[in-house]
A and B are shown apart, each in its own frame.
Chain A
Amino acid sequence: MSPNAKVPAKKTRGEEVVSGGNQDYVTMTIADQLFGIPVLQVQDVLGHQKITRIPLAPPEVAGSLNLRGRIVTAIDVRLRLNLPGRLRNKPGMSIVVDLRGELYSLMVDSVGEVLSLSNDDFERNPATLDPRWREVSTGIYRLNGQLMVVLDVPRLLNFTTMEAA
């Protein structure tokens, strides 16, 4: 993780990141909902960034930014999930992922801790899952008092329907 990361990586008892029964997730919050992305998919975590707007881009594409010499496309996840956009005075944070060689910066409300969760606890999307998350989720974890939705990054970044617009 880069110096920009504000998240301590928590490893349990010196275990490797992906050991027999556990997976580590970087957690984040979007619109008061907790999400997780497998840590191996996460390239970087960034604080507020200077973003260049891209004219004529779909609204979900907030713009682009320069990350150590690579151009990263910033995606406003709220808009992507058809949620109202973030308020201007709330800076937000970003999680950088790599999809097929391209870097994307997912703009979320805040980034939480890295949690190590047992694979046994992973559940498929229940029928009661909020329909807004269903499309971009691979499954969930029930944590103490909270639901964590596991984000399906490729589906999240599947903009084909929007490209046509």
Chain B
Amino acid sequence: MKSCLVVDDSRVVRKVARKILEELQFVCTEAEDGKQAMEACARQMPDAILLDWNMPVMTGIEFLRRLRKMAGGDQPKVVFCTTENDLAHIQEALSAGANEYIMKPFDSDIIQTKFEQVGLL
């Protein structure tokens, strides 16, 4: 089974994501912010990362940059979440190493489509 790390400061979002991903046969782990995400990746690099932008301690993009510098950090497919306000950041994210982006709120179809696009499914 593939693994996915859900990184978002909202429990609600993590819950929704987990539900969707588990149905898609992913094993999920969660992180509340970039720092926890780093630690999770250090323990075990996931196959996929669903990444939020606005987080305390360490933001999404900060984490992304560091991730890609880690050993094995180029492996996980990173799909990051954005709201329409962050359109400006999409380019920045893609340059920093994100594979794809999705809009919030997302649902199972959206996730499924995107994950297929990046080759996770």
- A touches B in complex, CB < 8 A: no
